[in-house]
Amino acid sequence: MIKKMIIGLLAGVVSGMFSTGGGMILVPAFIHLLNLDATKSRGTSVFCILPMVVTSSFFYYQGNFIDWKVAILCAIGGTIGGYCRCKIIKKIARKVYENSFCSIFNLCFL
């Protein structure tokens, strides 16, 4: 119980502060600390992140940080991208895809 509380709180702080990364904490935490399987932990993490995102967007909205034009354009692009992703995943093995993207972007960040 305490473990779950700490995981939730930590993910919430990170998610509120950077507005991203809640999933990056939740998914590994579910898999390694709570022994959930990968698919289930991914599904549960999305469910958990939504309330965090809604809460923090309320504060960002109050602070007048939302640029609606950019947000809506990005959301349109995101929907198209999500659709493309489903098509791509069917063609190539999921594992290869995950590893390649993770490594490319991590190298960029480093």
Partner 1 sequence: MTEIIIGIISGIVSGTGMGGGTILIFLLSFLMGIEQHVAQATNLIFFIPTAIVAIIVNFKNKNIDIQLAIIISIFGILGAIIGANISIRIDVGILKKCFGIFLAIIAINEIYSIFKLYTKQYKNNKKIDNK
- Residue 92: helix, strand or coil by DSSP? coil
- Asked if 43 interacts with partner 1 (CB under 8 A), we say yes
**Binds partner 1 (CB under 8 A): choice among 54, 90, 91, 93:** 54
CB 26 within 8 Å of CB 6 = no
- Asked if 21 interacts with partner 1 (CB under 8 A), we say yes
- Asked if 106 interacts with partner 1 (CB under 8 A), we say yes
Give 90 or 106: the residue with its C-beta nearer to partner 1.
Answer: 106
CB 19 within 8 Å of CB 60 = yes
How far apart CA 23 and CA 11 sit, in angstroms, is 8
- Asked if 92 interacts with partner 1 (CB under 8 A), we say no
- Asked if 61 interacts with partner 1 (CB under 8 A), we say yes
- Asked if 102 interacts with partner 1 (CB under 8 A), we say yes
Instruction: Give rounded-to-5 percent helix, strand, coil for the chain.
Output: 85, 0, 15
CB 48 within 8 Å of CB 11 = yes
**Binds partner 1 (CB under 8 A): choice among 59, 91, 92, 93:** 59
- Asked if 33 interacts with partner 1 (CB under 8 A), we say no
